[in-house]
A and B are shown apart, each in its own frame.
Chain A
Amino acid sequence: MSTLTLTVNGRAHTVDVDPATPLLYVLADDLALRGPKFGCGLGQCGACTVIIRGRAVRSCVTPVGPLNAAEITTIDGIGTPDRPHPLQKAFIEEQAAQCGYCLNGVIMTAKAFLDQNPTAGQADIQQAMSAVLCRCFTHTRMLRAIARYQREKNA
């Protein structure tokens, strides 16, 4: 066990954990954040995605130890039900979910990509989402929500 300081959504947290622990467990259990989800523990589905240094990171396979002092953004930190982030707002407007369990991975992966590539075309967006799963298959609405966000942001 070792004491680490993590900056999550702008707030510093001190945790005492085994540095090999995947970040997801620290976020979901030690910090009790609801946003990042356990989906596979293998980095295959995207449900655990967080953003670190502008990049989408799969927190279920990322050991927490090296993240001491890193700034971590989770979906909990980008908007609230009353004041959603514009990307979250686009998902709400498109009613782009069924069970919603995958939404964290979909939204955070899309956000990281579009923050870096605001004018990306459809093929590039598809490529960016190529390893994100939604088992309710709400794909059409999700892709529409991403397109709506991009359109409104660039308008």
Chain B
Amino acid sequence: MRADARDALARAGFSRREFLETSGALIVSFSATALAGRAGLAQGQFDTRTSHVDPAQLDSWIAIAADGTVTAYTGKCELGQGIETAQIQLIAEELCVPVARVRLIACDTAVSPDQGTTSGSQSTPTNFNDRNLAQAAATARQALLRLAAERLGVAAADLSALDGVIGATSNRATRVAYGELLAGRKFSLTVDPGAARKPSSEWTVLGKPVPRVDMAAMATGQLEYVQNVRVPGMLHGAVIRPPAVGATLVNVDESSVRDLPGVVKVVVRNNFVGVVADKPWHAIQSARRLAAEWRGGARLPDRQQYYDFLRTQPSRDAYVVKAADVEQKLANATTVLEATYRHPYQMHGAMAPSCAVADVHGGKATVWSATQSAYPTRSGVARLLGIPIENVRVVFTRGAGCYGLNGADAVSYDAALLSHAVGKPVRVQLSRRDEMAWENYGFAYVIDQRAGIDRDGAIVAWDHEAWFPSRGGRPGYDTPGNVITGALAGFEPAAFTPRGAAEPAGEFRNGSNAAPSYVSGRVAGRAGGAGTIASERVLTHTVLSPFFTGPLRSPSRLQNTFAHECFIDEIAAHVKADPVAYRLRHLRDPRLRDVLAAAAKAAKWDARPSPKPDARRTGIASGRGVSCVLYEGDNGYVAMVAEIEVDLATGRVAARRFVVAQDCGPISNPDGIRNQIEGGALQGLSRALGEEVTWDDEKVTSVDWRSYRSLPLGFAVPTIESVLIDHPEGTAMGAGETAITIVAAAVGNAIFDATGARVREVPFTPERIKAALSARADPSAPVRK
């Protein structure tokens, strides 16, 4: 075994002895059947490729050592969301062993299956339904029962497993432990799609608030993050990014740093510039002092006019739904309401600027990375370095919460390029500015909404048109130029080709929540939406962004839902209907109706139209707002009531109470879900009230925590009450991005309820609130007829 493999296993909590005992799991199959098994792994938009770890083989997922320790291999990694503990619960449950006896190795391309990217609230749907990790665990239990039946001479039906021991139901003295059954051998079986999962009625570990397995290590500062990885002989790198977006390198004067302490090498590749030094501080100092000459750069669009600019750009268009009668219904409607909503670029802004360690020598590379995409990053590093993919190993190592595509992939490339140049291990820790000025931002959006209302106040047509800028994104397997380092090193981002919109075909897909919950979602004659409005049109325009963009927690779903859930509120207010009742009037999905009703009930919702009839005109005004969504059209139901206060003199908003009701099918860990709801609600509040990427005519100017505002621990934190609706027999859905999706709308609606002022642009800064308060005199501005 190579030293780096040994180190990584040690890092993962494995000793060499244990490795040998469980080596069955690491004998990976170079099998043609891997391709056939691939279908079971593909998850929506998150592509996977054939790897040397064959997902059809049980040994690719689970190994049992002679001492009974269970090791599970997964392609879904811990980002702070609690999926490590939840997956351990899953294995413990299906295999009837205590949590403490399960180890999980996530996203090490040497040993774990390729499950694409840990993102999009897909880890629970992927690994907790009847396939992949869950099905492997069920197959393992079935195999152990069969082996025990042979060993004990008792029918499998008369055996049961408890605490890693299988015994006869009638006589527990007849028994055998897992470790004895396998004696360190591998299973040598394929995953059986027919193996029975344990019914949720028998769960003792899943569905329980099992404490996070990593909590004590985190609270005592002992958890190893990628920032803590130390490899013998390791050097430290720093990067020098261009001074302006799109600037190109003319010259680097290496003599400018030659006399600085510890400098090992200046590395230039195309527009990529970095330095390697003996210590981090020396790398930082030399990066600051390095004299580099740059030329040109884009003249960035005026930020104040940016939303209008988006409408004028060449675009790639798509319809989600397109009923033929929208214009006619709007023409015949009693009233047509219109409104435009704006959402800025926002950033992931991880607590830690991204960090990675790469060891490239002898034509091989090992990268310790907090990437969400171990296998795609492996492929990207291979392309970047021009070495065979099988010579690259990516070892996922914990990072700070990323909330999507932050700088983790880019810094993995940075470290690989620098290590390649010096032939020694190099650690790169980006600076705060490196991270914030060049990450792949969450999309800005401008959204026009139109609705036709009939004489009875019902919505008869809904027309949505949105523009959003995009550049690059997840690099996937083939496109390292989708993030800054790959682009600087000479790789192109994914091509942007404007084109007109085709008619919707196939089935209704609402993965970006571009369609509101209130439309029927009729495509090819079948209605797949959550609502009742049949006259519906949803058209999106993607335009080219000057900045890199990428998925940021609830990408597009959050921006679209902000516009939808505010607009339905505007319509309800116009027809003087209660916002909850008015939503229910246009919703047919029973589970979405249920979460909405549950949130309203828990919040003791006062049913009446907004705004509040006796709203204060001075001092502090209080109000409540509601919002809901079926996340991604099929991946989690959530509703929220927000209670807020507005200081009418300053325009400042304070949230006092959030009530969130959620249904994501079977709950793996109720405390984990509550933690996600609470964090999502407050992160959503921070994004709604203050977060906004800013720029001047050549560069991004929000590059630290003064120029990009995140609500600190000390702000007046609202109380958060979570109502969990459990469907233990249902399909498992995601829970990490639900709550955050609906915060801006609930808060915006509450501001309207408190004041009668509608704020249609995020973030809700005091200036915007005050402007909206002043505009109140203008009655019913959005009404067209």
Our pick among B281, B679, B680, B712 for the contact of A22 (Cβ within 8 Å) is B281
In the bound complex, residues from chain B placing their C-beta under 8 Å from that of A132 are 712-714
Q: Which residue of B lies closest to A107 (CB)?
A: B219
Q: Report the Cα distance A96→B681, complex, angstroms.
A: 15
Q: Would you give the shortest CB distance from A68 to chain B, in whole angstroms?
A: 17
| B222 contacts A133, C-beta separation under 8 Å | no
Separation of A79 and B215 alpha carbons in the complex (Å): 13
Interface 0/1 of A48-79, CB less than 8 Å to B: 00000000000000000000000000111001
Contact, CB under 8 Å: A39 / B212: no
Chain B residues with Cβ under 8 A from A88's Cβ?
216, 219-220
B684 to chain A, nearest CB (A): 8
Find the B residue at minimum CB distance from A134.
B713
- In the complex, the answer to whether B221 meets A42 with C-beta atoms within 8 Å is no
Q: Which of B336-373 contact A (CB under 8 A)?
A: 349-353, 355
Counting chain A CB atoms within 10 Å of each CB, the highest count among B236, B711, B714 belongs to B714
Question: Which chain B residue shows the least CB distance to A97?
Answer: B218
* Contact indicator A135/B401 (Cβ below 8 Å): yes
Distance of A99 Cα from B402 Cα, bound (Å): 9
**Interface presence of A4 (CB below 8 A):** no
Cα A74 to Cα B222 with chains together (Å): 11
Does B223 interact with chain A (Cβ within 8 Å)?
Answer: yes
A88→B221 CA distance, assembly (Å): 10
A32 near B714: Cβ-Cβ < 8 Å: no
Is residue B79 contacting chain A, with contact meaning CB distance below 8 A?
Answer: yes
CB <8 Å contact, A135 and B351: yes
**A126 interface hit (Cβ, 8 Å):** yes
Contact status of A99 and B400, CB under 8 A, knowing A92-B211, A134-B351: yes
Instruction: Tell me the residues in window 5-45 of chain A with beta carbons closer than 8 Å to chain B beta carbons.
Output: 17-18, 21-22, 25, 28-29, 32-42, 44-45
Interface stretch (choices B225-233, B476-484, B659-667): B225-233
Q: Tell me the bound Cα distance from A20 to B432 in angstroms.
A: 20
CB-CB nearest in chain A for B80 = A99
B interface footprint on A113-126 (CB within 8 Å = 1, 0 otherwise): 00000000000001
| Chain A 72-100 interface 0/1 with B at a Cβ cutoff of 8 Å (1 = within) | 00111001110011001101100111111
Give complex CA distance A105, B261 in Å: 31
Measured CB to CB, the closest approach of chain B to A149, in angstroms, equals 11
Q: Are B230 and A32 in contact (CB under 8 A)?
A: yes
Are the C-beta atoms of A99 and B351 separated by less than 8 Å?
Answer: yes
User: A112 in the interface, Cβ–Cβ < 8 Å?
Assistant: no
A44 touching B678 in the complex, CB below 8 Å, given contacts A84-B220, A130-B712, A133-B351: no
Q: In the complex, what's the smallest C-beta–C-beta distance from B581 to chain A, in angstroms?
A: 30
- Least CB distance from A88 to B in Å reads 4
* Interface contact B712-A137, CB-CB below 8 Å: no
| A80 to B223 alpha-carbon distance, docked (Å) | 11
User: A34–B224 contact, CB under 8 A?
Assistant: yes
A100, B225: Cα distance in complex, Å: 10
In whole angstroms, how far apart are the Cα atoms of A25 and B716 in the complex? 33
CB distance from A127 to the nearest CB of B (A): 6
A33 / chain B contacts, CB cutoff of 8 Å: 221
Bound complex: CA A34 to CA B224 (Å): 7
Of the candidates B82, B227, B282, the one whose C-beta lies within 8 Å of that of A37 is B227
Task: Report the minimum CB–CB distance from A110 to chain B (whole Å).
Answer: 9
Question: Cβ of B403 < 8 Å from any Cβ of A?
Answer: yes
B499 to chain A, nearest CB (A): 37
B230 touches A38 (CB 8 A): no
Contact with A along B57-80 (1 / 0, CB 8 A): 000000000000000000000011
A32, A98, A102, A140 pick with most chain B CB within 10 angstroms? A98
Q: B675–A141 contact, CB under 8 A?
A: yes
Q: Of residues A96, A99, A137, which shows the largest number of chain B Cβ atoms within 10 Å of its Cβ?
A: A99
Are A101 and B679 in contact, with the CB atoms below 8 A?
no
Contact B220 A98 (CB under 8 A): no
Q: Can you list, as one digit per residue, whether each of A129-148 has a CB less than 8 Å from chain B (1) or not (0)?
A: 11111111111111100000
**Contact of B227 with A38 in the complex, beta carbons under 8 Å:** yes
Q: Which of B683-712 contact A (CB under 8 A)?
A: 683, 685-686, 704-706, 710-712
CB-CB nearest in chain B for A35: B221
In the complex, chain B residues whose CB is within 8 Å of the CB of A40: 353, 432, 704-705
Contact present for B678 and A103 (CB under 8 Å): no
Q: Which residues of B contact A143 (CB under 8 A)?
A: 713, 717
CB distance from B401 to the nearest CB of A (A): 4
- Please pick, from B685, B706, B714, the residue contacting A126 in the complex, using a CB distance under 8 A: B714
Most buried by B among A40, A88, A141: A40
Closest Cβ of chain A to B241, distance in Å, is: 15
**In the complex, what residues of A have CB within 8 A of residue B710's CB?**
133, 135
- Closest chain B CB from A57 CB (angstroms): 16
Contact in complex: A101, B351 (CB < 8 Å): yes
Question: How far is B219's CA from A106's CA once the two chains are assembled, in angstroms?
Answer: 10
> A80 and B222: CB pair below 8 A?
yes
Would you give the shortest CB distance from B747 to chain A, in whole angstroms?
14
Q: Which chain B positions have C-beta within 8 A of A17? A: 281
Q: Which of B219, B680, B682, B715 lies at the interface centre, i.e. has the most chain A CB atoms within 10 A of its CB? A: B219
Judge whether A38 and B352 touch: CB under 8 Å. Answer: yes
Complex: how many Å from CA A35 to CA B466?
Answer: 45
User: Quick check: is B671 within 8 A (CB to CB) of the other chain?
Assistant: yes
Contact A137 B678 (CB under 8 A): yes
Q: Is B431 engaged at the interface, CB distance under 8 Å to the other chain?
A: yes
Least Cβ distance of A129 to chain B in Å? 4
- Nearest CB in chain B: distance from A79 CB, A: 5
> Given the known A-B contacts A34-B228, A84-B219, A99-B79, are A130 and B281 also in contact in the complex, defined by CB atoms under 8 Å?
no
Known: A25-B281, A98-B675, A126-B714. A137 touches B220 (CB 8 A): no
Bound together, the chains give a CA A76 to CA B224 distance in angstroms of: 12
Interface-centre pick from B401, B429, B713 (highest chain A CB count, 10 A): B713
Check A155 for interface membership: any CB of B closer than 8 A: no
Q: Are B281 and A141 in contact (CB under 8 A)?
A: no
**B81 interface residue (CB < 8 Å to A):** yes
B217 is an interface residue with CB less than 8 A from chain A: yes
Distance between Cα atoms of A22 and B716 in the complex (Å): 32
Which of chain B's residues have a CB closer than 8 A to the CB of A32?
A: 228, 230
B280 at the interface (CB under 8 A from A): yes
Chain B min CB distance to A97 (Å): 5
Most buried by A among B228, B350, B401, B678: B401
Given A34-B228, A80-B222, A84-B219 in contact, is the A136-B401 Cβ separation under 8 Å? yes
Q: Does B208 contact A (CB under 8 A)?
A: no
Of chain B, the residue at the smallest CB distance from A90 is B219
In the complex, the answer to whether A129 meets B714 with C-beta atoms within 8 Å is: yes
Q: In whole Å, how far is A138's beta carbon from the nearest beta carbon of chain B?
A: 6
Given the complex, which residues of B lie within 8 Å of A21, measured CB to CB?
279, 281
Q: Is B214 an interface residue (CB 8 A)?
A: yes
CB of A109, distance to nearest CB on chain B (Å): 8
* Inter-chain contacts of B351 with A (CB < 8 A): 37, 39, 45, 47, 99, 101-102, 133-136
Q: Is the CB of B211 within 8 A of A101?
A: no
CB pair A42–B705 under 8 Å, yes or no, is yes
Is the CB of B720 closer than 8 A to any CB of chain A? yes
In the complex formed, the residue of B with least CB distance to A33 is B221
The residue that B223 contacts in the complex, of A96, A100, A141, with Cβ under 8 A, is A100
Q: Is the CB of A34 within 8 A of B222?
A: yes
0/1 per residue, B743-784, Cβ < 8 Å to A?
A: 000000000000000000000000000000000000000000
Known: A129-B714, A137-B686, A140-B717. A98 touches B80 (CB 8 A): yes
- With A98-B80, A136-B679 already in contact, the answer to whether A127 and B686 are too (CB < 8 A) is no
Can you name 21 A-B pairs with beta carbons within 8 Å?
Answer: A1-B261, A18-B281, A33-B221, A39-B352, A80-B220, A80-B222, A91-B219, A92-B211, A92-B216, A95-B675, A99-B80, A99-B351, A100-B214, A101-B352, A129-B713, A133-B351, A133-B705, A135-B683, A140-B678, A140-B719, A140-B720
Given pairs A133-B710, A136-B80, A137-B686, 7 additional interface contacts (CB within 8 A): A29-B280, A37-B225, A47-B351, A99-B399, A134-B713, A137-B679, A139-B711
Top 5 A-B residue pairs of the complex, sorted by shortest distance between their CB atoms: A99-B80, A35-B221, A130-B714, A100-B218, A99-B401
